[in-house]
Amino acid sequence: MKPLALFGGTFDPIHIGHLSVAWEASELLDAEVRLMPASVPPHRSAPTATAEQRVEMLRAALRGQSRLTLDTRELDRSGPSYTIDTLEELREEFGDRPLVLLLGADAFAGLRSWQRWRDLFDVTHIGVINRPGVDTFRSVELERAVAPRRTDDPSVVRSQPAGRVIELTVTPLEISATRIRELLAAGRDPRYLLPAGLFDDPSLLAPYRELSSP
Ligand SMILES: Nc1ncnc2c1ncn2[C@@H]1O[C@H](COP(=O)(O)OP(=O)(O)OP(=O)(O)O)[C@@H](O)[C@H]1O
Ligand SMILES: O=C(O)c1ccc[n+]([C@@H]2O[C@H](COP(=O)([O-])O)[C@@H](O)[C@H]2O)c1
């Protein structure tokens, strides 16, 4: 069955790195991929842009293609957007369809500090995406914990609803939202690090440009 993959993030703002790795993950898994903005991202300070502003940027970024779509369900909940709550809700909705939680290697490295992290494997597979400068299995404890679940075969992921960890090797792109916020705050114009749609409406990037205003 065609898997449904969820790529959660703060997307403050969405950048070309997110889009490119999500696109390649969708090809590698032959999956439908949804970008899923966190309303209140756990484990980090409040984003610069509001949830509504981040969703507007995502809409602008995703325009003109249909492979990647938007899932705003986390905006309907108050409090921290714990992934386990979201995935349990998705499991209820999608029955036995394979679900894959896509995580960049840096996000995956912190998995053991997540809310009820072990329960995630009851409801989803995890697809780990390489990221420049991050050793995907740098934590021996995490490597040991997931070793029995690892596979490099997408057909295994397609044949069961949850419980496996698959490494997805994508074109590495050293782009981060932190760097983009710094550039915008410095009055720079990171045109080719951001999707073109974000430049169509000047109000979309205003929250970051305002950081440099006196
Ligand atoms: N260039 C990239 N390559 C691979 N994965 C990425 C890349 N950028 C972001 N991700 C992944 O996308 C998800 C959402 O990331 P997030 O929205 O926090 O972006 P970020 O660029 O890491 O932001 P920030 O710099 O603000 O921490 C995470 O799983 C993260 O690991
Ligand atoms: O559920 C948790 O405890 C948890 C802890 C940290 C991060 N997450 C999720 O991981 C995704 C990436 O987070 P971030 O902070 O790198 O944008 C995003 O969907 C977050 O909601 C989830």
40 CA from centroid of ligand 2 (Å): 9
Of ligand 2's listed atoms, the one at least distance from the Cα of 84 is 1
CA dist 108 and 182 (Å) reads 24
The CATH T-level fold of domain 4-208 is Rossmann fold (3.40.50)
Confidence of residue 134 (pLDDT cuts 50, 70, 90): very high
Mutation probe of ligand 1 site: the residue of 6, 18, 167, 182 with most atoms within 8 A of C-beta: 18
16 CA distance to ligand 1 middle (Å): 10
The minimum-distance atom of ligand 2 relative to the CA of 44 is: 15
Q: For residue range 2-51, list pLDDT tens digits in order.
A: 999 999 999 999 999 999 999 999 999 999 999 999 999 998 999 999 99
Q: How far apart are the first and last CA of the chain?
A: 54
Q: How far apart are CA 92 and CA 111, in angstroms?
A: 23
Q: Which residue has the higher pLDDT, 137 or 15?
A: 15
Counting from 1 in the atom list of ligand 2, the atom nearest the Cα of 82 is: 1
What is this model's ipTM?
0.99
SS (HEC) of 148-182: HHEECCHHHHHHCCCCCEEEECCCCCCCCHHHHHH
Instruction: Tell me the backbone φ, ψ of residue 103, rounded to 5 degrees.
Output: -135, 130
Question: pTM of the entire structure?
Answer: 0.97
In whole angstroms, give the CA distance from residue 101 to residue 5: 6
Nearest protein CA to atom 3 of ligand 1, as residue: 131
Domain ranges of the chain: 4-208
- Ligand number nearest to the C-alpha of 77: 2
Q: Is 37 in the pocket of ligand 1 (CB under 6 A)?
A: no
* C-beta of 10 in contact with ligand 1 (< 6 A): yes
Q: What value, to the nearest 5°, has the Cα angle with vertex 35 and ends 109 and 90?
A: 85
